[in-house]
Homo-oligomer: A and B are copies of this chain.
Amino acid sequence: MEGNVMEMDNALRAQVLIHALPFIRKYTDKVVVVKYGGNAMINEELKKAVMSDVVLLSLVGIRVVLVHGGGPEISDTLKKMQIPSRFEGGLRVTDRETMGVVQMVLAGKVNKDLVNLLQCQGGRAMGLSGIDGRMITVRRLDEVHGYVGEITRVDTSVITDALDAGYIPVISTVGCDEEGNVYNINADTAAARIAGCLKAESFLSMTDICGLMRDPSDPSTLIPQVYVSDIPQLIADGIITGGMIPKIECCQEAIRRGVKRVFIVDGRVPHSLLIELFTDEGIGTMFL
């Protein structure tokens, strides 16, 4: 049955709520980390849907943490400021000027816009960066990429302080080295690491595919559950390829660090977070 919620009678609505009961129960007071990115971050409708989901999760007592990147907005601002973008091996080469823009866009624009949106939906949010409370400490990844950082330590106290005070922490993934130089950090990696350090119940990574598929062109070949031990074989078989490899390595890392359940969720489907967490079947791929 499909349809529109406005035409639905109240009894049916009540039944839906009741159906969500066991799922709500499962996650109450648990930490759920959401890596927000891709289409869900560009399309205004999807954006709103994700924010509603996050607010609902927070209202039913789940401790949601939202971690975001912001690739397109960074490129956009760099272009406006006539600073050329250069990539090496998929990573942005980040000189000091570029890093200033990255920080400004992530922590000042994307982050605060999300906080604002969550609050317009009735949530109570606090925008944080990896700089605040010395949350993320990094070292230089390599000599090629400049201010691209590799995480050496995550101090989650600023996140748990925010959660304990009743806020939804929204986190932009920049961090500092021991001398206070700011670095850009891959958002997938940072989100997975934060989820691990928080011993999160679940980590959901939003992407623009419907999950891991045996045949990427055929959604009916979706693999609903993957054991971490099977990942090397899936890479060898060419089922996990290209840009999916680092994403799935992050999922693997999150599980290794103690996250109970890790999901790849299709960010193009409205309310995919709710569907994944609050229904039997889910819609993406779960890693165990």
- Residues in chain A within 8 A of chain B (CB atoms): 1-5, 7-22, 24-25, 28, 49, 52-53, 55-56, 59-61, 77, 80-82, 100, 103-109, 111-112, 115-117, 119-122, 124-129, 131-134, 158, 161, 165, 167, 174, 176, 179-180, 182, 269-271, 274-275, 278-279, 281, 283
Question: Contacts A107-B107, A274-B18 given: A180-B59 contact, CB under 8 Å?
Answer: no
Contacts of A106 in B (CB 8 A): 108
* Residues of B contacting A126 in the complex (Cβ-Cβ under 8 angstroms): 128, 132-133, 158
* Contacting pair A127 B132 (CB below 8 A): yes
Residues of B close to A271: CB separation below 8 A: 10-11, 14-15, 17-18
In the bound complex, CA of A103 to CA of B115 (Å): 13
Tell me the smallest distance from the CB of A62 to a CB of chain B, in Å: 11
Is B10 in contact with A5, judged by CB distance below 8 angstroms? Answer: no
* Contact across chains for B2 and A12 when beta carbons are under 8 A apart: yes
Known: A24-B56, A60-B61, A120-B179. 15 other contacts (CB 8 A): A2-B12, A5-B19, A10-B271, A13-B16, A13-B275, A16-B16, A80-B81, A104-B104, A108-B108, A112-B132, A119-B131, A125-B132, A125-B133, A158-B167, A161-B165
Q: How far is the CA of A174 from the CA of B12 in the complex (A)?
A: 37
Q: What chain B residues lie within 8 Å of A124 (beta carbons)?
A: 133-134
Query: Chain A contact residues: over half helix, strand or loop, or mixed?
Result: helix
| Residues of B with C-beta under 8 A to A3 | 1, 3, 8, 12
Q: Establish whether residues B103 and A131, one from each chain, have CB atoms under 8 Å apart when the complex forms.
A: no
Residues of B within 8 A of A17 (CB): 16-17, 20, 56, 271, 274, 278
A-B pairs, 8 with minimum CB distance: A108-B108, A14-B271, A104-B108, A16-B16, A14-B274, A107-B108, A5-B15, A120-B180
User: Chain B residues with Cβ under 8 A from A25's Cβ?
Assistant: 59, 122
Known: A55-B21, A122-B22, A274-B18. A269 touches B11 (CB 8 A): yes
Q: Could you tell me if B59 and A270 are in contact, using CB atoms closer than 8 angstroms? A: no
B115 touches A131 (CB 8 A): yes
Q: Within 8 Å CB of A176, what residues of B?
A: 116, 119
Question: Contacts of A133 on B, CB cut-off 8 Å?
Answer: 124-126, 167
- Provide the bound-state CA to CA distance between A104 and B8, in Å: 42
